[in-house]
Amino acid sequence: MRRKLKIALVAHDNRKVDIIDWVIYNSSFLAKHSLVCTGTTGTLVKEALASRDIHPDMQIMSSGPMGGDAEIAAMVVRKEIDLAVFLIDDLHPQPHEADIMMLLRQCRVHNVPIACNRYSADLMITSDLWDDEEYIPMDPHYEVFDRQKLNLKVK
């Protein structure tokens, strides 16, 4: 990949093993990009990459429950994030659920790809579209759906 991405990495406590394993597996790719992480995740990612003698451009925000998810959501709104990987613990309630939903929503509203599992993260980082000069992601359309306008027939 020729393009340098700014990638947000976020993982809940019960998913940190997954994110670190994913980071190590993809360390040669991540070494070429800028990383933005929430607090503990960032510290663990930095240590995991340093153990492989990889020291990417990296920014560590606050812990998720202390505003880190909100800080990254603000970066999404300002178009400072190209891709987010957010491994969510769907099996346990989170004290900062509103911030989690805000980050997910801002990625959807601002058309930032967000992977919530390792498989989708792998698919996203290996996409040829990152370097396709002719590909321009279409902004989401928030308008009333008119079936007749599109000539769609109900079966």
Confidence band of 155 (pLDDT split at 50, 70, 90): low
Catalytic-role residue among 13, 69, 99, 132? 69
Confidence band of 116 (pLDDT split at 50, 70, 90): very high
The pLDDT of residue 151 is 75
pTM: 0.91
Confidence band of 46 (pLDDT split at 50, 70, 90): very high
Average pLDDT score over residue span 100-110: 96
From 61, 60, 50, 57, select the one nearest 24 (Cα to Cα). 50
Please say if 69 is a catalytic residue.
yes
Checking if the pLDDT of 28 tops 80, the result is yes
Checking if the pLDDT of 154 tops 70, the result is no
Q: Average pLDDT of the chain?
A: 94
Confidence band of 60 (pLDDT split at 50, 70, 90): very high
Checking if the pLDDT of 103 tops 90, the result is yes
Checking if the pLDDT of 8 tops 90, the result is yes
Angstrom distance (rounded) from CA 104 to CA 125: 18
